[in-house]
Amino acid sequence: MARKEKERFLERIKTLMPPEIKGKVRVTFTRHTVRLMDWDNMVSTAKFPLDAIKNNGVIENDSPEFIVEFIPKQLKCRRKDQRTEILIEPI
């Protein structure tokens, strides 16, 4: 991801941030996309958003001690409906 793209993404994510969630969480990472990816590639797309969520104080840490369950999903959709949804639930 290019630097300017990352900066825009961070600014956007800051406007959507919920209050901090303390303790252990379940993260469901859903990618709505035109083309499905191999699972190893799909899961790697979660790194930057999860780091941003951690760095902006939404979750305490992104280690397995805090994210005790990570559920990757990908759904096929039309190009205009592409998006990524990240659901964070306290456990």
Return the half-sphere exposure (C-beta side, CA atoms, 13 A cut-off) of residue 6: 10
38-70, pLDDT tens digit by residue?
999 999 999 989 998 898 888 999 999 999 999
Q: Where are the beta strands (DSSP E) in the chain?
A: 25-33, 67-76, 83-90
Task: Report pTM.
Answer: 0.76
Q: How far apart, in Å, do the first and last CA atoms of the chain sit?
A: 32
Q: What angle do CA 22, 68, 28 make, to 5 degrees?
A: 90
Return the half-sphere exposure (C-beta side, CA atoms, 13 A cut-off) of residue 62: 14
Contact 86, 28 (CB under 8 A): yes
